């Protein structure tokens, strides 16, 4: 179990952005963490709608650090909701994980609605992102200058990504299944072939319903603007 104190204001909020939810990703999301594992957090935030309409430059991603009261420091990657929606429409696997991680540290209705929307819009297009991710993880074990501190970690992370992709493409469901053994390169490559087969035979649509994602984003933007106006009225009164 992950215990994280997020009571202190986060940098992204100080810049006028509002956090929508915070999830834990990485090894904890897969149930593959140990005592030495880093705690990887992803924060999804929303920029002020007024700033967007004014043409102000809005950061799509922000990397920051959180220092909870227990003294540890966690690296956190933050994505603006519009950037997340764009990547979900493209089938980006990181975006799918950020939206559907089962470890939600700071929950919200937005996260639940987004997760449901993603899981009802899984598509074949995600294959390319999954394949690219797995190939990159494999290289971390096979390239001397990129070798991870833990031998075989690249193959394990690649295999969990591949297994995730096979389930998604063949069954149309999200499954964060851990890989607890040390897979061989032969096993990983065999599963890569099965991933391609799952893609070719997948019953899923080629692309997600972009309109549904755009409508959700529009709703969130409008709600943000309405809430800001309400807060301003309360301050004046």
pLDDT in tens, 19-29: 999 999 999 99
User: Is pLDDT of 232 > 70?
Assistant: no
- Between 38 and 81, name the one with better pLDDT: 81
Give me the pLDDT at residue 83, please.
Answer: 98
Give me the pLDDT at residue 227, please.
Answer: 82
- Between 106 and 12, name the one with better pLDDT: 106
- Between 140 and 180, name the one with better pLDDT: 180
Hey, is 190 helix, strand or coil? helix
User: Is pLDDT of 93 > 70?
Assistant: yes
175 near 191, Cβ under 8 Å? Answer: no
Token readout for 165 is 């992709």
101 near 30, Cβ under 8 Å? Answer: no
Give me the pLDDT at residue 66, please.
Answer: 59
Q: What percent of the chain has pLDDT over 70?
A: 80
The tens digit of pLDDT for each residue in 127-179 reads 999 999 999 999 986 665 555 555 578 999 999 999 999 999 999 999 999 99
Give me the pLDDT at residue 69, please.
Answer: 54
Contacts of the segment 206-210: beta carbons below 8 A, 24+ positions apart: 206/123, 206/124, 206/125, 207/89, 207/91, 207/123, 207/124, 207/125, 208/88, 208/89, 208/91, 208/121, 208/122, 208/123, 208/125, 209/121, 210/89
The tens digit of pLDDT for each residue in 186-229 reads 999 999 999 999 999 999 999 999 999 999 999 999 999 988 66
Task: Report the distance separating Cα 40 and Cα 101, nearest Å.
Answer: 12
pLDDT band at 80 (very low <50, low <70, confident <90, very high): very high
User: Is pLDDT of 70 > 70?
Assistant: no
User: Is pLDDT of 96 > 70?
Assistant: yes
User: Is pLDDT of 89 > 50?
Assistant: yes
> How many CB atoms within 10 Å of residue 66?
19
> Half-sphere exposure (CA, 13 Å, Cβ side) for 185?
7
Give me the pLDDT at residue 33, please.
Answer: 87
Give me the pLDDT at residue 1, please.
Answer: 38
Total-model pTM: 0.87
**Which residues neighbour 203 within 8 Å (Cβ) at sequence distance 6 or greater?**
172
């Amino acid at each position: 179990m992950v215990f994280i104190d997020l009571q202190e204001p986060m940098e992204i909020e100080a810049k006028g952005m509002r956090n929508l939810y915070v999830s834990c990703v990485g090894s904890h999301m897969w149930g593959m963490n140990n005592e030495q594992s880093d705690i990887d957090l992803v924060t999804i935030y929303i920029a002020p709608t007024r700033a967007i309409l004014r043409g102000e430059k809005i950061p799509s991603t922000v990397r920051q650090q959180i220092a909870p009261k227990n003294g540890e420091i966690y690296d956190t990657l933050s994505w603006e909701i519009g950037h997340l929606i764009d990547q979900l429409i493209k089938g980006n696997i990181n975006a799918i994980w950020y939206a559907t991680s089962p470890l939600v540290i700071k929950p919200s209705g937005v996260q639940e609605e987004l997760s449901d929307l993603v899981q009802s819009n899984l598509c074949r297009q995600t294959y390319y992102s999954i394949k690219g991710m797995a190939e990159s993880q494999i290289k971390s074990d096979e390239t001397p200058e990129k070798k991870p501190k833990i031998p075989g970690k690249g193959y394990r992370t690649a295999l969990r990504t591949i297994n995730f992709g096979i389930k998604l493409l063949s069954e149309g469901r999200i499954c964060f299944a851990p890989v607890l053994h040390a897979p061989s390169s032969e096993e990983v490559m065999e599963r890569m072939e099965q991933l391609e087969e799952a893609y070719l035979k997948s019953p899923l649509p080629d692309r997600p319903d972009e309109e549904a994602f755009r409508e959700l984003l529009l709703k969130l933007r409008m709600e943000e603007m309405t809430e800001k106006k309400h807060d301003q009225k309360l301050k004046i009164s």
